[in-house]
Structure 1
Amino acid sequence: MSTSSPRHVLVAGAGIGGLTLACALRRAGLSVTVFERSDALKWVGAGLTVQMNASAALRRIGLCDEVAQAGACPTDSAILKPSGSALTRLPVTRIQEELGLPLVCVHRARLQSVLMAHAGEENVRLGLTVTAFHDDGQTVTVRLSDGSSVTGDALVGADGLRSVVRGALLGDAPLRYSGYTSWRGVCPDVPSATPGLVSETWGRGARFGVVPIGFGQTYWFATQNAPAGEQDAPGETRARLQSLFGGWHAPIADLIAATDEANIIRTDIHDRPPASRWSRGRVTLLGDAAHPMTPNMGQGGCQAIEDAVVLAELLAGEGPVDAALAAYEQRRLGRANSFVTRSWSLGRVAQWESSAGRFIRNALFQLVPQGFAARQVRALVRDAE
């Protein structure tokens, strides 16, 4: 670079996207400071799947193998009926070997720990929220929740679904409720589970996912059509889940029973309609702040990882900061927004309640050949590289 000192990038949010960006920026020789509203990065949360397209992005910054070691690589993936019979299957091992990339199921905290080690704890300031910013055309100054200010060359809002940076940059458009709520949990592995199988079971307005994440643990999630804002009665979450899913195939009832009530997280599922822009001047957005999506394609965190790697590569160039952010938006906006739309549509179909709708849905998915699904995965990875 032509400047005497590396660019200093300010990042709001130490989630998966913000920390991946910090790793990528440091690898590129840039300076970074991440502001995280939580007082500590605790061992909380549930699991996620690092799809092969995200593994391809992580490989570009030297983290693919380390992330794979933090989780588990499944051998098979399936969408099932509540009886346990398959609607569709994907031969994961064969595709991983063909592409030379892992699909990694991992506890969010383990992934976060890997990213933090490479981002550098000294570059992450906890207990601070970016509350406002000012872009004077030469630098960006952020105002923090403790009243202090920090100046840098660019600001990246990676502060999630309810991003403060997004609100100031694009306005506070309301969230879009999907029509269904979710429960998530992590529990010890149970003997009734099929080793190496990642599955999602589709019923009447409800689904249940099973994701082995290694280290003797399984992540599971469930959805049900429900009014927004509804809550479970205290101490009755497991009982409600057993009434909804206890009659479905193994190991669903066993997983619910093996999970501590206090560790089950309930969250309504929201996204936002795709935005037509993410950037202005020296400020841009990343991950859920830019393109929050429903989790139906497992691409929320994966697209944040892709965002981070592309943005770091462009900021490491010699051109002006605003041009780098504009190029980032041009490269990433269409791809990420397509996942917002496709994930929303898939969720609507997966949550169908009517008998006729479920019959059509199941019949269509049973007709999809494995070869077609495998081609989709290959195309997904190719477009990420």
Structure 2
Amino acid sequence: MNSYSFVILGGGIAGLTTAIALKKIGIDAMVMEAAIEIKPVGAGLALAANAMMALRKIGVADQVIREGRELKAFSIYDQKGKLISRTDTDPANSRYGISNFTIHRADLHRVLLAQLDPRNVLTGKRSVDFTEDSEGFLVRFEDGDQIRAKYLIVAEGIHSPIRRKLIPSQKIRYSGYTCWRGIMDNSDLNIAETSETWGKKGRFGVTPLAKNQVYWYACINAAGINSPLKNFTKADLEENFKDFHFPIPQVLAGTKPDQIIWNDIIDLDPLPRFAFGNLVLIGDAAHATTPNMGQGACMAIEDAAILASCLENNPKPIQAFELFEKRRLSRTHRIVQDSWRLGIIAQLENPLLMTLRNTFFRMIPRKVTQKQIETLYQVDLS
């Protein structure tokens, strides 16, 4: 049986960025990833200025920037293409001095993996249980293997069995809508704007990526989790969004069926704690959120930078984990709940309520919107 000092369960964005951040302060953590093989999968995501600042602190911002595309603004439209709201995210208008970026999840994963020694990333290690004793933690995996760890960082996502054992009463929440995501070639459409459209039959987002690609997502209300809508084909999506403004029908038409993935939108009811002695929860295992504010990956990257800071400045990991919890609970709770509420607003179907919503958003002064964005970016990375 192998024994390690620091073990990170999960080789996603949270786990890999944390391993990189710990490496920078002299801690070589072992990453245990559930997948048999780390493949270039997934769709696009946004890395807001708060995430980019955290990546800069960790030391990998430049590498990510080379693979991403700058996101200077975000617009919301109604179904006919009339502007509802526009947020300027250009760094020239921000005191943070670093821009927002969009990136393919697979490209981000590849950049992060390249920063680590391959011998410190083990695949096929899906945790199923753990116990704690005077020597630390004994972690058991689905393949029958087990390891010992003195300190355990749990970054294995919203369905983490470790978190379920620690807090069995905590619930995963279904948002009320289901989602399709896809990637398409942008050579013909030349889409340059990141936008979201709120319509009577759902919501559709379009995000240009680097390498002449476009990432899109489509959210439709569904009564329950795993609804029959999960069987929607590309043709079904085209029919549902056929009356939406340009370029939405064209984006769907140009997407290959094998480039479309589906999942219900869920989050994690905010946890009362993240630290459990010499064990700490991070990323989606701690604060999984709906994607409405584009902050899921961002919060995971913040976690990495802040956890490393706590460990660097505290001689005992148990104290560092407690400080991490203190620094992260309030911010992550607020973002999870704000994102949940925004999803409810964006997914409205009642025509009267939709009209009132759109009118209200159009009346919000631009400086108020900008202030809200700047507040979102304010994160203590010291």
**TM-score bin, normalised by smaller chain:** over 0.9
Matched residue, 2:377: 381
Where 1:223 maps in the other structure, the secondary structure is strand
Amino acid at match of 1:32: A
Work out which of the residue numbers 65, 69, 83 in structure 2 matches 1:86. Answer: 83
Matched residue, 2:329: 333
Work out which of the residue numbers 19, 26, 29 in structure 1 matches 2:16. Answer: 19
**Are 1:53 and 1:384, in contact at CA under 8 Å, matched by a contact in 2?**
no
Aligned counterparts, 1:18-37, within 5 A: 18-37=15-34
**Are 2:140 and 2:146, in contact at CA under 8 Å, matched by a contact in 1?**
yes
Work out which of the residue numbers 317, 322, 328 in structure 2 matches 1:321. Answer: 317
Q: Please give the root-mean-square deviation of Cα atoms over the aligned residues, in Å.
A: 1.8
Matched residue, 1:75: 72
Matched residue, 1:184: 181
Work out which of the residue numbers 22, 26, 35 in structure 2 matches 1:38. Answer: 35
Matched residue, 1:105: 102
Sort the Cα spacing of 1:158 and 1:172 in 2 relative to 1 into closer, same or farther, 3 A: farther
Aligned counterparts, 1:351-370, within 5 A: 351-370=347-366
Q: CA deviation at 1:94?
A: 5.0
- Tell me the distance in 2 between the aligned counterparts of 1:172 and 1:212: 40
- Tell me the distance in 2 between the aligned counterparts of 1:299 and 1:231: 28
Matched residue, 1:152: 149
**Are 1:181 and 1:267, in contact at CA under 8 Å, matched by a contact in 2?**
yes
- Tell me the distance in 1 between the aligned counterparts of 2:188 and 2:90: 22
Matched residue, 2:256: 260
Q: Which deviates the most, 221-230 or 92-101? A: 92-101
Q: CA deviation at 1:64?
A: 1.4
Where 2:288 maps in the other structure, the secondary structure is coil
Q: CA deviation at 1:69?
A: 1.1
Amino acid at match of 2:343: G
Aligned counterparts, 1:126-275, within 5 A: 126-171=123-168, 173-195=170-192, 197-204=193-200, 206-227=202-223, 228-232=225-229, 237-275=233-271
Q: CA deviation at 1:126?
A: 0.5
Matched residue, 1:61: 58
- Tell me the distance in 2 between the aligned counterparts of 1:272 and 1:114: 28
Q: CA deviation at 1:279?
A: 1.7
**Are 1:135 and 1:282, in contact at CA under 8 Å, matched by a contact in 2?**
no
Where 2:264 maps in the other structure, the secondary structure is strand
Deviations, residues 47-93 of structure 1 (Å, cap 9, x unaligned): 10001111111111111121111110023210111111111112222
Matched residue, 1:281: 277
**Are 1:57 and 1:384, in contact at CA under 8 Å, matched by a contact in 2?**
no
How many residues align? The count is: 377
TM-score in terms of structure 2 length: 0.94
- Tell me the distance in 1 between the aligned counterparts of 2:124 and 2:250: 38
Where 2:357 maps in the other structure, the secondary structure is helix
Deviations, residues 155-202 of structure 1 (Å, cap 9, x unaligned): 11111111111112111533211110000001101533542x110001
Q: Which deviates the most, 135-144 or 307-316? A: 135-144
**Are 1:78 and 1:199, in contact at CA under 8 Å, matched by a contact in 2?**
yes
- Tell me the distance in 2 between the aligned counterparts of 1:360 and 1:97: 30
Q: Which deviates the most, 41-50 or 239-248? A: 239-248
Q: Which deviates the most, 118-127 or 335-344? A: 118-127
**Are 1:186 and 1:220, in contact at CA under 8 Å, matched by a contact in 2?**
yes
Matched residue, 2:45: 48
**Are 1:153 and 1:321, in contact at CA under 8 Å, matched by a contact in 2?**
no
TM-score in terms of structure 1 length: 0.93
Where 2:371 maps in the other structure, the secondary structure is helix
**Are 1:12 and 1:159, in contact at CA under 8 Å, matched by a contact in 2?**
yes
Q: 1:342 and 2:338 equivalent?
A: yes
Sort the Cα spacing of 1:280 and 1:48 in 2 relative to 1 into closer, same or farther, 3 A: same
Matched residue, 1:3: none
Percent of aligned pairs with the same amino acid: 37
Q: CA deviation at 1:97?
A: 6.2
